[in-house]
Structure 1
Amino acid sequence: MPVPVQRDPEQTRLALADWLAARMPRAREVTVGPVRVPGAAGYSGEILLCDAEWTEDGTTRRGEPLAVRVAPTGHRVHPEDRWPEQVRLLQVLDGTDVPAAPLLGHEPDASVLGAPFLVMRRIDGRVPADFPSYHREGWLADLPPRRRRAVWLGGVEMLAAIHRLDPLALGLGFLDRPRYGTGHLAQQLAEYTGLLPFYGAQHNEVAAAASAWLRDHRPEEPGPPRLLWGDARLGNIVYDGETPAAVLDWEMAALGEPESDLAWFLHLDRHLSEGIGATRLAGLPDRAETVRHYEHLTGHRVRDLEYYEVFAAFRFCVLTARVTRLLEESGIMPPGTDFPLHRNATRLLARVLDERGARYGDAAVPR
């Protein structure tokens, strides 16, 4: 259920053609094909796909695949889009061994498309879908267990590659958010717990209980901080066969302890299986094997993972409250539709709290 096109597709196509032509002075007859939304896109970013064609030095380049990411305007999941930081991070990643989609250019002027945007070379491949869950159907479910295992471990290897980067050497200090407090975990906690009304989760009793638990059990951050992908999950990886070809979606990127990413990776998979009542695919490594493989790849001993799993469940619960509200307000989800995303996320958060001894149960889960 992707974010819809928030601007006229034909005007967008023509504006992109003019924009590309202005940045390629040797190109002639620049055209852009129909603009479309990817079927497997997520909620938070407006992604437009198109193919460009032009003639340069007598040679015609046909079907150049492009992906255009537009800064959120009306459909904003997060309180801040942090757009300049996203662009800057993609520029930094281009010089590393993390396979992010190549950034071809960006436009800070909102007058072109109604919001800033960036243009990337589209990486062809397959992405495990959230809707319907890849545990229920799709190309991953169709693979034999041995190959599913390779897909999962490839995702863990992407986490390891990101966490091996040196934020200091790469100049990633711009991802720090000192206005939310001292310490990277404290900053993230403050953002989510302090802005519950924005997300629409201020009346969720399970989220309130998790917020209190997280404050009371906050671990130390031995550091040094690593680059955090933020939305680390299989659904943000483009695969060429069973091999990751590109890592997508950096709008939740931050600095902090790598366990935060690992916990999110595990929890989002749990949500798409146990959280929605689906049987987890055979062949996918379990939590313990995933942790062992991650430690082997990074040489980092995983600490306090249980805490970060509660944090992941809490953040996902809060974000799904916001997503549900946006779907209702935008008309994507008609009034009266039973869309269980937030309810399922809340119920799974209650279960995670129970596992950590909070004894909360799901009595307060909205029906």
Structure 2
Amino acid sequence: MAGITLVQRDLAATRLQLQKWFEHRFAGEVAITELAAANRAGGFSSESLVFSATVDGETNEYVIRIPPAGGGIFREYDLGAQTLTQELLHEYGVPTPSPIYYEPDRAWIGSKFLVMPRIVGHTPSDFTYAVKGWLADAGPDVQRRVHDSFLDTLVQLTRVPVNEATWLQRPAGVGISAEIAWWLDYVRWGTDNQVPDLMTEAFTWLRRGQPGNGGPLSVCWGDARPSNGIFDDSGQIIGALDWEQACLCPVETDFGWWLASRKQMLEANGLDADPELPGFDSRAAVVGRFEEMIGRKLEHLGWHEVFAMVRMGCCIVRMQSLLRRNGQGDHFLTRAAILPAWTVDAIRA
């Protein structure tokens, strides 16, 4: 996926060095094609480039994931932790790309990186999936499979033992309090301590209404929405991507993110629909189904939906700062609202 970066990478030089790395890693004769953005339509965290590699006559497609040169959305890009996360989840049936080759030695391309197999399929757009594009045109049967296979993926995450993912602990620990603290520190860093008043107000609201009992911990995606999935022609999810925000929190953290992103899409397109696509469940129906699937009631979903949008708002504030520093002040994201109107209404009610 395309990344926001302050320094443009020399793709030709990167290609030559990557070929040398393949020759070293696989001990064979290697040819690498030109590097291209994996998805120009979305993705603003890492530089992700797609290419083909022929090793001893066998050709496969890969994606290389690289921390943005010169700084990015996140303060740290722990590709080692992302590799551990994706490999662990793959063992428990979550369709993350595998195998992954993590290279911590910066000498090869000037940065650490990871290489993983490319998964070819469809990726729904963030803000327009219900009004145009592959998913909108696919019809109810395919939409239903997209919806249900994504829901199944969230359930699969709840079955991954938390004690096998200790690297996902935040500095303040695990759970909701630690996650709020992490994001507040993030937005202070991302704005050079110039946190917008609205975000300060939002964090005050979050802490004031924080659920006392957050529920059992789960390995959470942190960015759970279909646009971070790859789906085959039938609508089955075949790739779950982008694990930078993975954490150990109640499953409501992920489920609230999905519900909130659906609301955000509706607001962005001026739609009043529930569900937004014929093949999707309504909000009430999918909540009920998910509760049956995990064997317990979901708690404080309204709070978690606001928490999701505040976290997304933190990322938007950081992206706006990067774009302006990168001379892209006319980018559509620089004009984006930090929080959706429904989120602002909730924190000011």
Confirm whether residue 135 of structure 1 aligns to residue 130 of structure 2: yes
For residue 131 of structure 2, give the secondary structure of its aligned residue in structure 1. Answer: coil
| 1:1-367 mapped onto 2 (5 Å cutoff) | 2-3=2-3, 6-25=8-27, 27-28=28-29, 30-37=30-37, 38-55=39-56, 60-62=57-59, 64-130=60-126, 133-168=128-163, 171-177=164-170, 179-180=171-172, 182-200=173-191, 202-221=194-213, 223-241=215-233, 242-278=235-271, 281-283=276-278, 284-331=280-327, 333=328, 335-336=329-330, 339=333, 342-343=336-337, 345-353=339-347, 358-359=348-349
> How far apart, CA to CA, are the structure 2 residues paired with 1:304 and 1:323?
29
The answer for unaligned runs of 5 or more in structure 2 is none
Structure 1, residues 322-341: CA drift from partner, whole Å, max 9, x if none?
1122122223x2x3555466
Q: How many residues align?
A: 341
When residues 272 and 344 of structure 1 are mapped into structure 2, their CA distance, relative to the original with a 3 A threshold, is farther
Structure 1, residues 283-309: CA drift from partner, whole Å, max 9, x if none?
122211121121222223211111111
Structure 1, residues 180-211: CA drift from partner, whole Å, max 9, x if none?
3x552111111222343323384433322221
Aligned-pair identity (%): 28
Structure 1, residues 139-187: CA drift from partner, whole Å, max 9, x if none?
011122343232122211111111121112xx2112112x33x552111
> How far apart, CA to CA, are the structure 1 residues paired with 2:346 and 2:334?
18
When residues 346 and 272 of structure 1 are mapped into structure 2, their CA distance, relative to the original with a 3 A threshold, is closer
Letter in 2 for 1:158: T
Q: Report the RMSD for the aligned CA atoms in angstroms.
A: 2.2
Greater Cα shift, 289-298 or 226-235? 289-298
1:210 and 1:314 in contact (8 A); partners too: yes
> How far apart, CA to CA, are the structure 1 residues paired with 2:154 and 2:179?
19
1:73: how far off? Answer: 3.9
1:48 and 1:67 in contact (8 A); partners too: yes
When residues 228 and 20 of structure 1 are mapped into structure 2, their CA distance, relative to the original with a 3 A threshold, is same
2:4 and 2:46 in contact (8 A); partners too: no
Greater Cα shift, 114-123 or 201-210? 201-210
1:349: how far off? Answer: 2.3
Structure 1, residues 47-88: CA drift from partner, whole Å, max 9, x if none?
010011122xxxx213x1101111234242122323322122
Letter in 1 for 2:91: G
> How far apart, CA to CA, are the structure 2 residues paired with 1:202 and 1:40?
30
TM-score normalized by the length of structure 2: 0.90
Letter in 2 for 1:109: D
1:229 and 1:253 in contact (8 A); partners too: yes
Greater Cα shift, 118-127 or 136-145? 136-145
Structure 1, residues 217-251: CA drift from partner, whole Å, max 9, x if none?
11134543110111111100010121000100110
Greater Cα shift, 14-23 or 228-237? 14-23
Greater Cα shift, 245-254 or 146-155? 146-155
1:41 and 1:47 in contact (8 A); partners too: no
When residues 203 and 149 of structure 1 are mapped into structure 2, their CA distance, relative to the original with a 3 A threshold, is same
> How far apart, CA to CA, are the structure 2 residues paired with 1:149 and 1:204?
40
